[in-house]
Structure 1
Amino acid sequence: MAIELNKDIRAEAIASIERYFRENMDEPIGNIAAGALLGFFVEEIGPAIYNKGVADAQERLQMRVMELDIEVHEEEFQYWRKLERKGKGRK
Structure 2
Amino acid sequence: MSVIALEKASLEMLERRLKQYFVKELDYELGQFQAQFLLDFISQEMGAYFYNQGVRDAQAMLSSRVDDLILAFDELEKMEPRPVSTL
What TM bracket, shorter-length normalisation? 0.7 to 0.9
Consecutive unaligned residues in structure 1, runs of 5 or more: 81-91
TM-score (norm 1): 0.76
Which structure has the greater CA radius of gyration?
Answer: 1
Query: What is aligned with 1:58?
Result: 59
Query: What is aligned with 1:6?
Result: 7
4+ residue segments displaced more than 2 Å: 75-78
Consecutive unaligned residues in structure 2, runs of 5 or more: 83-87
Q: Which amino acid aligns with 1:27?
A: Y
Residue 28 of structure 1: CA displacement?
A: 1.0
How many residue pairs are counted as aligned between the two chains?
Answer: 79
TM-score (norm 2): 0.79
Q: Which amino acid aligns with 1:58?
A: Q
Q: State the distance in 2 between where 1:69 and 1:8 align.
A: 41
2:78 corresponds to 1:75: yes
Identity over the aligned pairs, expressed in percent? 32
